[in-house]
Amino acid sequence: LAKTTQPISMDSYEGQEVNITCSHNNIATNDYITWYQQFPSQGPRFIIQGYKTKVTNEVASLFIPADRKSSTLSLPRVSLSDTAVYYCLVGDSFGSSASKIIFGSGTRLSIRP
Amino acid sequence: KAGVTQTPRYLIKTRGQQVTLSCSPISGHRSVSWYQQTPGQGLQFLFEYFSETQRNKGNFPGRFSGRQFSNSRSEMNVSTLELGDSALYLCASSSLEGNNSPLHFGNGTRLTVT
């Protein structure tokens, strides 16, 4: 299982673009990179998933360099409601076994007015 | 589609009691997994069920058990509660369609043991 390393916390301001980088040096060939967002007393919410290059959806973008040893979650024009903990997960075949999924400590993102 | 539903939302029990938590997955999802979340240990995997069979179990004592019904709904039980069992218990379901179907979490049951 690939271990991930993320900053413990980040601060930003409303309207700014926020980039959270995750290191996963031991990522395996079949591993995908998935990001979740969690608000206090709620379950994690799936944000985005990718394998290589760039993935974009209505919420965020995910940038993955060619060596795949890191990835960057980009949140455009953040608002106060984006204050949450963000988890980066790396693994293969999430559907085959949830036990392969290890949540790290996550990044606590705080957005200020 | 309705999301993952967990009941009850909050629960207060005393040491030594037992508790049963319930989870209804997203319709059509056959995999249900359970996690314990505490400030000190973060999110930890408890167990996973698929088609009424436990496929994997995390590193928790036997006091923690679960089951899945034919409609994919799942329950987890904790017997002889300890103070350290106070946590947010999260249930997640997955469709298992394709290799990387993400987990969909409920909002959890907040268990407080006094």
Query: Once rounded to an integer, what is the mean pLDDT over residues A88-107?
Result: 70
Using the CB atoms, write b or e for B48-61: b if 16+ within 10 Å: bbbeeeeebbbebe
Q: A63 — contact with chain B (CB < 8 Å)? A: no
Of B35, B47, B100, the CB nearest to A93: B100
Cβ of residue B27 closer than 8 Å to a chain A Cβ: no
Minimum distance, in Å, between the CA of residue A59 and any CA atom of chain B = 16
Which residue in chain B is spatially nearest to A32 when comparing CA positions? B100
Judge whether residue A93 has pLDDT over 60. Answer: no
Predicted local confidence at residue B100, as pLDDT: 66
A:B CB pairs within 8 Å: 79
Tokens of B41: 């240990």
* Interchain pair A41, B45: CB under 8 A: no
* Cα distance between residue A75 and residue A14, in whole Å: 11
Read off the pLDDT of each residue in B57-83 and give the average, rounded to a whole number.
Answer: 96
pLDDT band with cut points at 50, 70 and 90 for residue A2: low
Please determine, for residue A94, whether its predicted confidence score (pLDDT) is greater than 90: no
Contact B105, B4 (CB under 8 A): yes
Burial level of A36, CB count in 10 A (0-12/13-18/19+)? buried
How much is the mean pLDDT over chain B? Answer: 92
Q: Which of residues 54-113 of B touch A (CB under 8 A)?
A: 55-58, 88, 90-92, 94-108, 110
Stated as kind and residue range, the H or E segment containing A45 is strand A45-50
For residue A1, is pLDDT > 80? no
- Confidence grade of residue A95 (pLDDT, cut at 50, 70, 90): very low
Q: Which of B94, B106, B107 is the closest to A98 by Cβ? A: B94
For B7-20, the pLDDT digits (tens) are 999 999 999 999 99
Contacts of A97 in chain B (CB under 8 A): 48, 55-56
Has residue B96 got a pLDDT over 90?
Answer: no
Contact B83, B15 (CB under 8 A): yes
Q: Would you place residue B99 in the very low, low, confident or very high pLDDT band (cuts 50, 70, 90)? A: low
Q: What is the pLDDT, as a whole number, of residue A100?
A: 62
For A50, nearest residue in chain B (alpha carbons):
B100
pLDDT in tens, A35-53: 999 998 899 999 999 999 9
Average pLDDT over residues A54-69: 95
